[in-house]
Amino acid sequence: MKRCLALARLGAGNVAPNPMVGSIIVCRGKIIGEGFHQKYGEAHAEVNAINAVQNPELLQESTLFVTLEPCAHQGLTPPCSDLIVKKQIPRVVIGTVDPFSKVAGRGIEKLRNAGIEVEIGVLEKECRDLNKRFFTFHEKKRPYVILKWAQTLDGFIDVNRGRNEFGEPTWITGDLALRLVHKIRSEESAVLVGTNTAEKDNPSLTVRHWSGKNPTRVLLDKNLRLPQNLNLFDGSVQTLVFNSKKQEQNNQIEWVKIDFEKEITHQILEELHHRKILSVVVEGGKQMLESFISQSLWDEAHIFIGDKFFYDGISAPKIQGILTQSEMLNNDWLKILANPRESN
Ligand code: AOF
Ligand code: ZN
């Protein structure tokens, strides 16, 4: 299963909104075929592993290992469980059940009904962690939410007016953090900012200091007051503008009308879920971050800590989480927290 996990990871960045899946076929203690889900819309892991076996007769005395339950449905490709039955593979070892409603146990049922011996739950935690976005998406019906901000050593995310005395934006962290933020963007499906951040920082929210694809840009502009010459409106990347006035699309930019009388974060997450967006990075500002925190609508928080003091300004959001990772470089400059609450 460890080998399957390593294979699955090779699909990173190319399979969303599908999960990363890896599979091997073992005959008499030897791996005779390996495969992984390489690209969204293309063959599933099991199909690639089966096709990699040079002598197909051996399948009838082999065990197939796979990180995720073989699918039972006709999607963009035919059901993997049918193929396994057809190839008469006598034993299947599965990392974890598939949470997708069209599968969710039906794949396992098909295999067992055909007399195949099925073992479930090998390295289950690792298999779930690998696809934490996919599991959150299907189980909680919302994208996996990553909060991100930078704060000074004395706990501020900005000076009061957003500019220093020379009228320049105030940087909290350095080049390394910038790169890492771009890497994170390249790995997630969407990036979200509030109105103030969009206007004041004029961010592009694209991936420039790393390779990979740009996430969908998402912003909030209740009264459509943001100037159209902001970088976010340059039309280079798919951009969703949540607002109270219009529902309209103009090439890459789409205005999505929501009800500002009601809770906004839920509506945003619901719309992103509807659009099959598996994960979103919330990049600010304070108000936006705090609304996700207060409702416990977050899974991870990445807090970048600079080496400056502002002494005064906008204080960082208060958050309680479990420290899962901390980078050591002079001092802890990046803390990664996990949400301790399961019920969101
Ligand atoms: C598997 N093996 O390698 C993967 C599975 O529309 P499709 O055909 O691409 O199917 C997508 C769904 O199939 C996806 O939501 C998930 O439930 C499952 N993914 N299943 O047996 C694989 N990638
Ligand atoms: Zn499949």
Q: Which segments in the chain show pLDDT lower than 70?
A: 162, 169, 328-331, 342-344
Residue 73 inside a domain? The answer is yes
> End of a domain among 133, 163, 188?
133
In this structure, are 240 and 110 located in the same domain? no
Ligand 2 centroid vs 144 CA: distance in angstroms?
23
- For residue 42, how many C-alpha atoms fall within 13 Å in the half-sphere facing its CB? 13
Distant-in-sequence, close-in-space partners of 104: CB < 8 Å, separation ≥ 6? 97, 98
In this structure, are 245 and 275 located in the same domain? yes
Number of domains in the chain: 2
Crossing angle of helices 286-294 and 264-274, rounded to 10°: 90
In this structure, are 102 and 200 located in the same domain? no
Q: Reduced to 3 states, what is the DSSP secondary structure of residue 206?
A: coil
Tell me if 297 sits within 8 A of 265, measured CB to CB. yes
Ligand minimally distant from the alpha carbon of residue 108:
1
- Strand segments, DSSP code E, in the chain are 22-27, 30-36, 62-68, 91-96, 117-120, 144-151, 156-158, 190-193, 216-220, 239-243, 248-250, 253-257, 279-282, 300-305, 314-315, 322-329, 331-338
Residue 138 inside a domain? The answer is no
Residue 206 inside a domain? The answer is yes
In this structure, are 126 and 156 located in the same domain? no
In this structure, are 278 and 297 located in the same domain? yes
In this structure, are 310 and 184 located in the same domain? yes
Residue 204 is part of a domain; what is its CATH number? 3.40.430.10
Structural domain for 257, as ranges:
143-342
**Amino acid (1-letter code) at residue 62:** S
Task: Kindly give the pairing relationship between strand 117-120 and strand 253-257.
Answer: unpaired
Provide the pLDDT for residue 303: 95
Ligand 2 centroid vs 147 CA: distance in angstroms?
32
Residue 16 is part of a domain; what is its CATH number? 3.40.140.10
| Both tokens assigned to 81 | 């469980």
In this structure, are 294 and 162 located in the same domain? yes
Task: Kindly give the pairing relationship between strand 248-250 and strand 253-257.
Answer: antiparallel
DSSP at 287? H
Residue 225 inside a domain? The answer is yes
Ligand minimally distant from the alpha carbon of residue 18:
1
Ligand 1, pocket-test mutation among 34, 40, 48, 71, most atoms within 8 A of CB: 71
Task: Kindly list the protein residues whose Cβ atom lies closer than 6 A to any atom of ligand 1.
Answer: 18-19, 21, 37, 44-46, 68, 70-71, 75-77, 80, 98, 100, 103
> End of a domain among 84, 108, 133?
133
In this structure, are 315 and 170 located in the same domain? yes
In this structure, are 77 and 213 located in the same domain? no
pLDDT tens, position by position, 212-227: 889 999 999 999 999 9
> End of a domain among 88, 107, 133?
133
Tell me if 210 sits within 8 A of 178, measured CB to CB. no
Residue 246 inside a domain? The answer is yes
**In ligand 1, which atom is closest to the CA atom of 20?**
23
Q: Reduced to 3 states, what is the DSSP secondary structure of residue 189?
A: coil
In this structure, are 62 and 181 located in the same domain? no
Residues with CB under 5 A from ligand 2 (ion): 44, 71, 80
In this structure, are 129 and 159 located in the same domain? no
Q: Reduced to 3 states, what is the DSSP secondary structure of residue 29?
A: coil
In this structure, are 129 and 229 located in the same domain? no
> Which residue ranges make up the annotated binding site?
44, 71, 80, 150, 171, 185, 197, 201, 205, 208, 283, 285-291
